[in-house]
Structure 1
Amino acid sequence: MASVSAVRQVLAARLATIDGLRVNEYVAGSITPPAAAILPGLGSETSTGRPAIEYDKAFGRGAHKMHFLVKVAVSTAHNEASQAELDAYLDSDGAKSLKEAIEADMDALELDDEHVADYANVPGVVHYGIIQWGNVDYLGADVHVEVLAR
């Protein structure tokens, strides 16, 4: 099975294709928005009872489904402009779309020409509003990502 770290790296590489978005594979202590971080699981505040990793989704341990949150944050200095910027990251397509960047190549997710996972899917946004990052308030969202890893 692909490691959680390898999946994070692939997701970070896909998000890094969005011009101007600062991408962290892990949660940083402080950020300069716009920024995104990748966390395994769905988070306790939005828990759906779904585990971060669902093992054995195929016979013989053939595949595992991993759930991630991509936390994205923009400035709150200009409320309307910040909402418009965040909305662009949450659009289903477009130059700033997180969904489009993550789902760019549905055939496979690869890292250094090595197969990491079969697909990544963005089923939805589980939070939109003020988030705190390093004791600073930002406007942000939590984007749910599912990955089928082999």
Structure 2
Amino acid sequence: MEPSPIREAIADAARAVVLPEGISKLTCTGYVPDAVAAPHFFCGEYTVDYDKAMGRGLDVVELTCRVLVGRADDRASQRTLDSLLAGSGPSSLKTAIEAARGAPGDYALGGLAHDLHVTRMQGYRWYEHAGTDYVGAELIIKIIGEG
């Protein structure tokens, strides 16, 4: 699996979220941006466990993604973040990203991987990115595919 197309496909999937009325559209990148237009989702750290099956048959990727929300109003910002981190619903990043798994029997991410699963949320806190503070969290995505 090549990292760049995987990361871009995850960002494309995240764009499907529908935020509550009155909240700016979620911007998404498959890379760590220099600056963000909040709310923003991006793919960050990428780790690979190679050779999980013989003959380079399977690699397992753990992708750490972040979502950052502006902090103009602490309570409203955290409500927006909470809707993005929900386990289901139209604003759920988990739901949007896992929709890229495809139909049963299909490869995930348009054929880039065998499967993926959003396994956990962590690090709900204040983040500093490019000199600006945001409330945010990390999503961990497990992706499996050919080596």
TM superposition score category, shorter chain reference: 0.7 to 0.9
TM-score with structure 1 setting the length: 0.85
Partner Cα separation in structure 2 for residue 55 and residue 89 of structure 1: 31
Using the alignment, how far apart are the partners of 1:105 and 1:141 within structure 2? 21
Quote the offset at 1:28 in angstroms.
1.1
CA-to-aligned-CA distance 1:68-108 (integer Å, 9 cap, x gap): 11110001111111111000111011111111111114342
Listed one character per residue, the Cα deviations across residues 116-149 of structure 1 (whole Å, up to 9, x for unaligned) are: 1011111111210100111100000011111102
- The gaps in structure 2 that reach 5 residues or longer are 19-24
The equivalent residue for 2:33 is 28
Aligned length: 136
Distance 1:6 1:144 in 2: 17
How many angstroms apart in 2 are the aligned matches of 1:26 and 1:110?
A: 17
1:126 aligns with 2:122: yes
Gaps of 5+ in 1: 42-51
Q: After TM superposition, which residue ranges in structure 1, 4 or more long, deviate above 4 angstroms?
A: none
1:147 equivalent to 2:146? Answer: no
Conserved? CA contact 2:59–2:144, under 8 Å:
yes
Within 5 Å, give how 1:112-123 maps onto structure 2.
Answer: 115-123=111-119
Paired AA for residue 16 in structure 2: T
Matched, 1:97 2:92: yes
Identity of paired residues, percent?
29
Per the alignment, residue 45 of structure 1 pairs with none
CA contact (8 A) 2:8 2:29 kept: no
Superposed counterparts of 1:7-86, under 5 Å: 7-19=6-18, 20-41=25-46, 52-86=47-81
Q: Alignment partner of 2:89: what SS?
A: coil
**Aligned CA-pair RMSD:** 1.3
Instruction: Quote the Cα distance in structure 2 between the aligned partners of 1:53 and 1:68.
Output: 9
